[in-house]
Structure 1
């Protein structure tokens, strides 16, 4: 959003009532870009352009800002706005000057938006590692919201961002840590953010996709909070994986249930059905896609449901690997419940392919969902195979 430099106090027209913002005009295509992708992954904002992904995206979620001490904070100042980009890795081929006021990913995103005027960028806060800070933030939602707007709309980069996304894993439930804020806390935080950012800014949230009975969706009033958000990103992936190292093997992002699924309700359709059943408009729900796979080693059975010995080796994390690597190293040779799996050399991986994404996009259309989001851009091939399947 473009705002006056130095603006800190909310102008009068920012006040809102309880009326919901309009449901998202679809289909949205929202891709996450991480501030750590420029390190070992050597993936930069320029790659969003050269892969053709920028032409297919409607929104980028920039991950992550931190939540600590009850307020929003920078996640990585060096990557965010300090790193000097050479000409070869800059979006427009121009190197950063030593004395320019904004460098890093923020400046590169600014350049990308100049090439794609309709592209919106949303700053996402929290995530798995930093969600523990939301419990403190929930004690004083107004202070939290003010801190977030002050940071997102900092005069140095106010034109880069079009809103805020919160990724709280999970309100009134357990993720990396357990939260006991109560079922109303998420909605109070949402209302404070909408009041502070106003009606015109984008305010979105990544939420649980636990569709099981009495699961994480049931722990929080997501329906009541929905009126303050433009849309939700239910994280319809990571249902199963080598965080249970002995298995059983199961697809981490099944679209539907299947015979033998280890946990009932751990699939995309269960989450979407439950959220819609709560009264959340379909246009405010985006279907999540993982641009990566989860896998086990020490497996002897090709079909899902086999025992395993450990997490399969991954480039950056055991049990996790990018699609661009798996497509070559362990190509898919089976499908189950609307997603793909691969069995090779004693390893069992599940991930989406262009073919299974096409099926998920048909589901998205049938359900009249607001669009699609995915984690995350660096997992795709250099020519954007997966995002092409989305759009």
Structure 2
């Protein structure tokens, strides 16, 4: 059972890696994916690097600098106080004045050091750096397009995240050669998406389908070589789009041979970007033939079961499939109650107001919102409706249904996006942790 920890969660949500521990979530987790690392145009190709730069694409995807941001400060430069840290000790400012590293490197700080502390407390926990994501998949199509470019990208990612050669930041006295070694046990590739369908500024190559397979094979080769040097197996995973249209743009039976497992992003099937509705489910386990969105061949694949079967039919072993469960909901407002009075499959006026973004809300907030909670008997998805606002999300009951499904199908497990969306006592995460029970 795994979960994504979002780099930016330490800001508005004030959710730190210490909270993963104090909430009780950590004892249920076998892996954490740290989101995200970015890829940059560099040295005549494309490379992993860590910089600190506000992300223009977060608010304006048409900005020429969209997709080029980074947050090295949150990653490894911020000094956490003792009360903020996993082990209760504050991050050190620097090395002793006579230490030969002084002026050339600084102590590991920020989220990376907290990840290392969490691993020390939970020795069975694996941590991966997740590269890409919705906002930072700009260069994947180009970086994967030739053998030399693939080799350059993979080598750079291993250099930064596995060997831990972090750019030295003199102002914060952080980073340096080898400072980040031991934080990450592998790499998670979150290319959104091969063949298109992601941000408008992403560079899409007509050969993305084959190049995705080749890129992962290159990651596997270089990770195996790097792992042999340190005497451990380094993990390689991906996060993939779960609709049938996204799966069709890749070669699951082939690329899965390079992977330890596949994280299916089995959420965001429907949401506020469909501004006037109809309201529908964002992470339903099964398809409802009555859904207006299930009248097309692709629409019928927008559910967990179809995503899993699509991968199995493409030749992916069940033991490499991990189902995603969102710790947030998608919603609309101005919703007509409809003939049943529950707002389902009804028109809307706009995305529902959200704390951080319209149309989306964390579970920890949704659970306390007014409205009646319904559970659909066919889709096994919950929703809340207060007469005008509709939210589709997972409750403990529907989360447990997904755990049972994973067990019945002999899949590898489940993961969450993202850990900071849960309640202070990790209500959903603890239910999902039942997947580890025999």
TM-score scaled to structure 1, two decimals?
0.90
Whole-angstrom distance in 2 between the partners of 1:205 and 1:332: 37
Aligned to 2:194: 171
2:182 is aligned to 159
- Alignment deviations for residues 184-234 of structure 1 (CA, whole Å, 9 cap, x no partner): 0101100110111116100000011012xxx12111112211100111011
Q: How many residues align?
A: 360
In structure 1, the partner of 2:126 is 120
The verdict on how the C-alpha distance between 1:151 and 1:244 changes in structure 2, with shifts beyond 3 A counting, is: same
Asked if 1 retains the 8 angstrom alpha-carbon contact of 2:142 and 2:205, the reply is no
State how far apart, in whole Å, the 2-side matches of 1:181 and 1:265 are.
24
- Aligned residue number for residue 71 of structure 2: 76
Q: Secondary structure at the match of 1:259?
A: coil
Q: 1:219 aligns with which of 246, 249, 273?
A: 249
The answer to which of 191-200 and 114-123 deviates more is: 191-200
* 1:188 and 2:226 correspond: no
Deviations 1:81-132 (A, max 9, x none): 0001111111111112221511100111111111111111000000000112
Equivalent in the alignment of 1:62: 34
Aligned residue number for residue 237 of structure 2: 204
How far apart, in 1, do the equivalents of 2:40 and 2:253 lie?
26
Q: 1:375 to 1:332 in 2, by over 3 A?
A: farther
User: Bigger shift: 215-224 or 185-194?
Assistant: 215-224
User: Contact 1:84 / 1:98 at 8 angstroms: preserved in 2?
Assistant: yes
**Backbone CA RMSD of aligned residues:** 1.2
The CA distance in 2 between the partners of 1:231 and 1:338, in whole Å, is: 25
Shift of 1:345: 4.5
Deviations 1:283-308 (A, max 9, x none): 10001100000000101222421000
Q: How far 1:174 sits from its partner (Å)?
A: 1.8
Question: What's the secondary structure of 1:184's corresponding residue?
Answer: helix
Note if contact 2:252-2:315 (Cα within 8 Å) is conserved in structure 1.
no
TM-score normalised over the length of structure 2: 0.80
- Whether the aligned pair in 2 keeps the contact of 1:138 and 1:181 (CA below 8 Å) is no
Q: Deviations over 1:157-204 (max 9, x none)?
A: 111110000000111232113623422010110011011111610000
Measure, in 2, the Cα distance between the counterparts of 1:287 and 1:97.
Answer: 39
CA contact (8 A) 2:372 2:386 kept: no
Runs of 4+ in 1 over 6 A off after TM superposition: none
* Partner Cα separation in structure 1 for residue 12 and residue 82 of structure 2: 20
Equivalent residue number for residue 255 of structure 1: 285
Deviation at 1:331, TM superposition (A): 5.5
Which stretch shifts more, 282-291 or 178-187?
178-187
3-state SS of paired residue (1:383): coil
Q: Which structure 1 residue ranges, 5 or more long, are not aligned?
A: 1-28
Does structure 2 retain, via aligned residues, the 8 Å contact 1:332–1:340? no
CA distance in 2, matches of 1:130, 1:95: 31
Q: Which residue of 2 aligns with 1:10?
A: none
- 1:39-73 deviation per Cα after TM superposition (whole angstroms, max 9, x unaligned): 11100000000001110000000000002212112
1:7-26 to 2 correspondences below 5 Å: none
